[in-house]
Amino acid sequence: MQWSWRQAFFCITGILGSEKNESCEPFTRSCCGRVSPLYWRVPILVWALFVLIWSMSFFWGPTQMFFLYMTHWGLAFIVLESSFGIFVAIGRRGLTDATFGLPWYVKTYWILYNITIPVSFLITVFYWGILKTSANTVNFAPNPVLDIMLHGVNSAVMLVELICSAHPSRLMHVMQPLYFAGAYMLFSVIYFFAGGLDPWGNPFIYPVVDWSKPEQTMVVITLTALFLALMHVLTVGIATVRDAIAKRRDSLTTGVYNDAFTP
């Protein structure tokens, strides 16, 4: 498959390059026939809002430090992603025809979807695989139930969104979650050089991302970025299998097959 300069540009920038050729219809339905996306997006939103309020109420530090952590960024993105997903599902009759491109709120939902799912997977693996095993570990979630909600159930609910949705996931959108990670990295750098401390008075947000040790931190960040890209590839793979199963099941071929290589 030969890439044009246009496709390469969309890959590098992460722009939704083919939205003018994209139909709104797959964004408003489930891959499971006539089941409405509201059946899972509303419970996800309720869950996310509940956990967000719960975690803010029992946060171990000052409230203004709550959004120091990527876990809480990820939770906020689940709230945004499910909110826009609900809006898209409810407003399906008013969606613009594909001839004129996807409406802004469908594009916004798609970008949030592309970011939130792999980032949720990353947060779960990063937390249990790195932070919990770190020699300098701190107690990020004193409540064990809340700990599982923030770092385990987050991936489970996003997996439900991924498996039940009908719209495509594209390999060329890998830059979108990486931009999210880059924004968080930039935030952590600015916070460190501004003299920011964590709730325990440490000069870092996460012990494995300590900018007073730049070489070690850059290794962690590089490996994390590669793993996040892998999580995006996994997301695309699951979506491709999902769509293949739906297409095979649907004798009328009303499902949309996931073309991962389309920009």
Residue 2 maps to a domain: no
Q: What total number of domains does the chain contain? A: 1
What is the rounded distance in angstroms from the CA atom of residue 169 to the CA atom of residue 237?
A: 9
Angle subtended by helix axes 214-249 and 154-164, to nearest 10: 40
**pLDDT of amino acid 74:** 97
Residue 16 maps to a domain: no
Residue 226 maps to a domain: yes
pTM of the entire structure? 0.87
Residue 181 maps to a domain: yes
Residue 258 maps to a domain: no
What is the rounded distance in angstroms from the CA atom of residue 60 to the CA atom of residue 62?
A: 7
Residue 26 maps to a domain: yes
Residue 221 maps to a domain: yes
Residue 260 maps to a domain: no
Residue range(s) defining the domain that contains residue 199 = 22-249
Phi, psi dihedral angles at 168 (to 5 degrees): -80, 160
Confidence of residue 1 (pLDDT cuts 50, 70, 90): very low
Query: Under a CB-based contact definition with an 8 Å cutoff, are residues 68 and 209 in contact?
Result: no
Confidence check: pLDDT of 113 > 50: yes
What is the rounded distance in angstroms from the CA atom of residue 51 to the CA atom of residue 113?
A: 19
pLDDT digits (tens, 9 = 90+) for 90-109: 986 555 554 457 889 999 99
